[in-house]
Structure 1
Amino acid sequence: MLRQTKKEAEIFEINFKSSHNNNELNGYRSSLFIDYFDNWMEKYEISGVDRQTLISHYTAQKIVHERLSVYTVEEMTKMYFNDF
């Protein structure tokens, strides 16, 4: 089981809340969380992040698809994300 570090979870939460506060999620609310996560990953890949970090995120992406495929963005909470 992949366990996120506290820092990674905090960064995800900050980015998620920032998008939410800027109304960037309006079109995503009823979308599946995995689609939102995949879109985020596409943007993250081109940001110039370290290769090893990117590999870790690919692993997380695989697990997100396996375990969170039924949740919409609106249903996703910090508790669900941290507990998966």
Structure 2
Amino acid sequence: MDKPKNQVVTEKSIRLLQQNQYTFKVDSKLTKTEMKSWIEGFFDVEVEGINSSRIGNRSRKRKNKLNINFTSQKKMIVKLKKNYFIPLFLN
């Protein structure tokens, strides 16, 4: 099982940092409970809740009419309890 792949840095994810929420791209097979236990163990924080969403498959057509399929991805937004933070992110 892969752990979180990387952090997501977008305008929305930066705004969510002010609300103590952190956004990660993760393996599509990772569950919320696995993510919660990994975050709590690795960063030594307490998780209040997790929201997950799938970024669906996309396909592109080229001039030679070949379809290129992109694999589905998953992102999770982790909300930490008050007075906890992840030091890798800027607050």
Q: Which has the higher contact order (CA 8 A, sep 6+)?
A: 1
The structure that is strand-richer by fraction is 2
TM-score, normalised by the number of residues in structure 2: 0.31
The structure that is helix-richer by fraction is 1
TM-score, normalised by the number of residues in structure 1: 0.33
